[in-house]
Structures are given as structure tokens and as C-alpha cells.
Amino acid sequence: MAPVATTFFFYFLSALTVLSGVLVITRKNAVHSALALIVSLLGQAALYLMLYAPFVAGVQIILYAGGIMVLFLFVIMLVSIEKAQKEEQFNQQWLVGLAAALALGALFVLVYVKGRALFPDRGILMPEQSNTQQVAVLLYGNYMFTFEIASLLLLVAIIGAVVMAKKRI
């Protein structure tokens, strides 16, 4: 099936993602921030879908929007909102922040300019139907070792978190 109104959807989703991203840092209420972050993540998932990467989109929804953000909310809900409202939202480090933002922006521009040569003009065409299989082949074939290392790292992180949080096990 041919894509419909691709341009419109791209700009719509991008605007949604960016706008809710801005809301995340400007809302005083932490729960509102978290909800905006969820919208932003969902927008990203939809963008992945437009890139013919449905598996990544699905995982994004399950893990980030459905899992991690629920835990975020779980924590934030317990925090007293009144107290958070009174606190200073921005600290006085705007100089450092500006420098960091400029550096990041410069990096983006650099990648964009140089990247034209690095990446092929039209990205690798991955048929949508076998997208999941392709991901599997890459993860469990070409990059198996890296993948396993990452999972081991996560396991260590989990155990470390448990050890730190629980005084006696």
C-alpha cells in the first residue's frame, strides 16, 4: 500500500514531538511533564513507523510509554505537588546551558553536512514485512556479542540497584 500524505504526517508528528518536548521542561507540575514526555515518546514511535521500522516503534511504545513512564508516574505521584510548585524551576546556569546547546547544535549541523557523504543517499531499503526478522538477524547474528554484553551490563545494573536500595536482602 502506498503511503498517504507522508509529508503532512511527518511535520505533524515532528511538531507534536517537539512541542510536547518543550512542555516537558516548562511545566511546573511534574505529572504534567511526565504526561507530555509520554506524548513526545508516542510521537517518536509514530515517526519510527514512518521510517518503515514497525518493530522499533512497537518496542518504543511497550518499553518507554507503557513501562518506564508508568514507573515514572508511579514515583512522581507520591511527590507532594504543592512543594514542587514552590520550588525554583530554573537555576542560574544559563551560560553553561547555552554553551552546551550551541555545541550540540553545531554537532547536528556537522553531521548533516558531512553525513551526506557518510550515508548513502536513500537509506537502506528494508522491506516492511521482514523488518522484525532483519532486526533479529542483526541482533542475534552480526552483533550477537555486543548484544549479550549489553544484557549482562543491564543485569549488573539491576543487581546493583537492588543491593543499594535494600539494606538487607
Q: What residues make contact with another protein under the rule CB under 8 A?
A: 1-2, 29, 31-32, 35, 38, 54-55, 57-59, 61-62, 65-67, 69-71, 73-75, 77-80, 128-133, 165-167
Least CB distance to another protein at residue 1 (A): 4
Which residue, 93 or 133, is less far from another protein as judged by CB?
Answer: 133
Q: Which amino acid is at 47?
A: L
Which residue, 35 or 47, is less far from another protein as judged by CB?
Answer: 35
Angstrom CA distances, 155 to 45, 148, 149, 151, stand at 26, 11, 10, 6
Which residue, 29 or 151, is less far from another protein as judged by CB?
Answer: 29
Which residue, 118 or 125, is less far from another protein as judged by CB?
Answer: 125
Q: Decide: 50 and 4 in contact? Cβ < 8 Å.
A: no
Count CB neighbours of 27 within 10 A: 16
Least CB distance to another protein at residue 51 (A): 14
Which residue, 4 or 95, is less far from another protein as judged by CB?
Answer: 4
Least CB distance to another protein at residue 58 (A): 4
Q: Which residues of 54-92 are buried (b: 16+ CB within 10 A; e: fewer)?
A: bebbeebbeebbeeebeebbeebeeeeeeeeeeeeeeee
Least CB distance to another protein at residue 141 (A): 13
Contacts of 31 (CB under 8 A, 6+ apart): 73, 76, 77, 81
